[in-house]
């Protein structure tokens, strides 16, 4: 058979994808599964706004990839179909991208007034006034979703932003505002200034991690939408769900569906075989490992390197001896590094059995040595 040209290889006929966009990070799933309780709580917060009253503030929290952002996207999408929702001026802000007070109020201005304010030459007070005068005139209720709000704390804007939105009714009586803040943990509440915390009384809505079965359902549905029939077997979707569950990361599962299919395509296969998944998983896990290891300090990397050279189950005492032969560091500081590596799930430690061993632990590397050495820079 003559060898194929690039044109053949790139042609749509070779594709296993029916709808490649369903694997994109910003895809909003048609079916949002296993989040009925959270959707009910969110709806309860919004409901007063449909009668022109103030919605309840919400504090939406949970680990990564548990569907928090998706819940908001679905909410805004569905509000478009509800006539009474015209009373709501809603805006969903990604604080990783827009992390300044002016940036945030510019987006609110756009949602309420219809366009962004000029970038320069307009004082904040003018932008603020334009927003709330218009809201009051139109008797609309403002709902601001601050997604990944933790990022506002890096620049200390969180207090000011919350304060300026929540106290708007004092300056413009009759104005009604609410905030939905999305964060990974609730610790941020303690970082708020007292005056702001007392204003920001919010309904807590928790998004727990998905179970392996829930991940399977979500991934199976995504595969059905994204691939032509017969491209992936249920067993392989199950395997992908178990990898995603092990890592506590549904996004990894979605990525594995996509990369396994691309790998299958590159081998000119009409369906995904187990070896394509394994190849995709190896690539994905190296990338994840690299993102964990790269930001570590020199001492933290040194400890990882020593662990690669040591036998599995080495005791913390012996590891400290080896570590202090290279680097002068107190045992307490050494132990702190060990705890950090454990929190990052790079190592696992177990108490040494037997009496009188104090806090001596046995240490096990979680990734394989070979995997880890691939991403650890040479000394
Ligand atoms: N219940 C669900 N049904 C279908 N797809 C889902 C569901 N939950 C999450 N997803 C998918 O998982 C991915 C991550 O979801 P999302 O971005 O909503 O998570 P998140 O909780 O906002 O994460 P982070 O805290 O990292 O921002 C998205 O691709 C989304 O489509
Ligand atoms: Mg999110």
CATH of 211-293, one of 3.40.50.2000, 1.10.8.60, 2.30.110.10, 1.10.10.10: 1.10.8.60
Average pLDDT over every residue of 227-248: 96
CA of 70 to the centre of ligand 1 (A): 5
Are 142 and 178 in contact by the 8 Å Cβ rule? The answer is: yes
Domain 298-375 has CATH 3.40.50.2020: no
Supply the pLDDT for residue 12. Answer: 63
Q: For residue 35, which ligand has an atom nearest its CA? A: 1
Q: Which of 19, 250, 257 to mutate to test the pocket of ligand 1 (most atoms within 8 A of CB)?
A: 250
212-226 vs 250-266: helix axis angle to the nearest 10?
40
Given the CA of residue 214, which atom of ligand 1 is nearest to it? 1
Q: For residue 62, which ligand has an atom nearest its CA? A: 1
Given the CA of residue 67, which atom of ligand 1 is nearest to it? 18
Model pTM score: 0.85
Residue 9 has pLDDT above 70, yes or no: no
Q: For residue 64, which ligand has an atom nearest its CA? A: 1
CA of 64 to the centre of ligand 1 (A): 8
Are 121 and 175 in contact by the 8 Å Cβ rule? The answer is: no
What DSSP string describes 253-272?
A: HHHHHHHHHHHHHHTT-SS-
Residue of the CA atom closest to atom 6 of ligand 1: 67
The upper half-sphere exposure of residue 151, i.e. CA atoms within 13 Å in the direction of its Cβ, equals 14
Higher pLDDT: 73 or 63? It is: 73
d(CA 273, CA 276): 5
Using the CB atoms, write b or e for 82-112: b if 16+ within 10 Å.
Answer: eeebebbbbbbbbbeebbebebbbbbbbebb
CA of 103 to the centre of ligand 1 (A): 25
Q: For residue 73, which ligand has an atom nearest its CA? A: 1
d(CA 318, CA 312): 12
Higher pLDDT: 346 or 357? It is: 346
Average pLDDT over every residue of 213-242: 98
Given the CA of residue 207, which atom of ligand 1 is nearest to it? 21
Given the CA of residue 27, which atom of ligand 1 is nearest to it? 31
Supply the pLDDT for residue 10. Answer: 67
Q: For residue 68, which ligand has an atom nearest its CA? A: 1
What's the chain's Rg over C-alpha atoms?
Answer: 26
The upper half-sphere exposure of residue 288, i.e. CA atoms within 13 Å in the direction of its Cβ, equals 20
Average pLDDT over every residue of 151-172: 89
CA of 29 to the centre of ligand 1 (A): 9
| In 95-221, beta strands by DSSP E | 141-147, 176-183, 202-206
Q: Which of 67, 185, 253 to mutate to test the pocket of ligand 1 (most atoms within 8 A of CB)?
A: 67
Average pLDDT over every residue of 188-193: 84
Residue 247 class from Cβ within 10 Å (0-12 exposed, 13-18 middle, 19+ buried)? middle
For the domain made up of 36-206, the CATH class stated in words is alpha beta
274-293 vs 234-247: helix axis angle to the nearest 10?
10
CA of 266 to the centre of ligand 2 (A): 32
What DSSP string describes 56-99?
A: PEEEEE-STTSSHHHHHHHHHHHHTT-GGGGGEEEEEEETTT--
Indicate the SS3 state at residue 146: strand
Share of the chain above pLDDT 70, in %: 96
CA of 148 to the centre of ligand 1 (A): 13
Q: Name the token pair of 174.
A: 């009759």
Nearest in space to 178 (alpha carbons), one of 312, 297, 87:
87
Residues with CB under 6 A from ligand 1: 27, 29, 32-35, 64-70, 148, 184, 207, 218, 250-251, 254
pLDDT digits (tens, 9 = 90+) for 280-307: 999 988 888 998 899 999 999 999 999 9
CA of 185 to the centre of ligand 1 (A): 16
Confidence of residue 188 (pLDDT cuts 50, 70, 90): confident
Supply the pLDDT for residue 152. Answer: 85
Structural domain spans, the chain:
36-206, 211-293, 298-375
CA of 140 to the centre of ligand 2 (A): 27
Nearest in space to 183 (alpha carbons), one of 206, 201, 165:
206
Are 36-206 and 211-293 the same fold in CATH? Answer: no
């Amino acid at each position: 058979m003559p060898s194929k040209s690039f044109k053949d290889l790139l042609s749509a006929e070779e594709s296993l994808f029916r709808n490649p966009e369903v694997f994109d990070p910003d895809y909003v799933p048609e079916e949002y599964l296993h989040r009925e309780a959270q959707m009910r709580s969110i709806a309860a917060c919004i409901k007063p706004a449909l009668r022109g009253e103030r919605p309840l503030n919400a504090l939406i929290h949970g680990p990564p990839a548990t569907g928090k952002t998706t819940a908001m996207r679905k909410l805004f999408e569905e509000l478009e179909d509800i006539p009474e929702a015209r009373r709501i001026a809603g805006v969903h802000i990604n604080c990783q991208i827009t992390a300044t007070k002016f940036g945030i109020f510019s987006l609110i201005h756009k949602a309420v007034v219809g366009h962004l304010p000029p970038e320069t030459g307009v004082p904040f007070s003018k932008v603020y006034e334009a927003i709330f005068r218009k809201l009051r005139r139109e008797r609309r209720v403002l709902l601001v979703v601050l997604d990944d709000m933790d990022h506002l704390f890096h620049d200390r804007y969180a207090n000011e932003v919350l304060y300026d939105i929540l106290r708007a009714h004092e300056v413009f009586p009759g104005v009604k505002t609410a905030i939905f803040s999305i964060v990974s943990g609730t610790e941020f509440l303690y970082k708020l200034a007292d005056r702001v915390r007392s204003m920001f009384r919010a309904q807590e809505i928790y998004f727990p991690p998905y179970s392996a079965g829930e991940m399977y359902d979500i991934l199976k549905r995504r595969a059905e939408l994204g691939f032509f029939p017969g491209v992936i077997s249920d067993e392989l979707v199950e395997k992908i769900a178990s990898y995603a569950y092990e890592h506590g990361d549904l996004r990894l599962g979605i990525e594995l569906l996509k990369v396994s299919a691309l790998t299958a395509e590159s081998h000119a296969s009409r369906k995904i075989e187990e070896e394509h998944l394994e190849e995709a998983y190896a690539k994905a896990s190296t990338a994840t490992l690299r993102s964990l290891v790269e930001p570590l300090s020199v001492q933290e990397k040194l400890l990882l390197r020593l662990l690669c050279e040591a036998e599995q189950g080495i005791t913390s005492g012996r590891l400290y001896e080896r570590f202090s032969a290279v680097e002068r560091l107190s045992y307490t500081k050494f132990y702190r590094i060990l705890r950090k590596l454990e929190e990052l799930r790079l190592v696992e430690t177990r108490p040494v059995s037997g009496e009188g061993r104090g806090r001596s632990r046995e240490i096990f590397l979680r990734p394989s040595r070979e995997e880890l050495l691939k991403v650890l820079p040479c000394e």
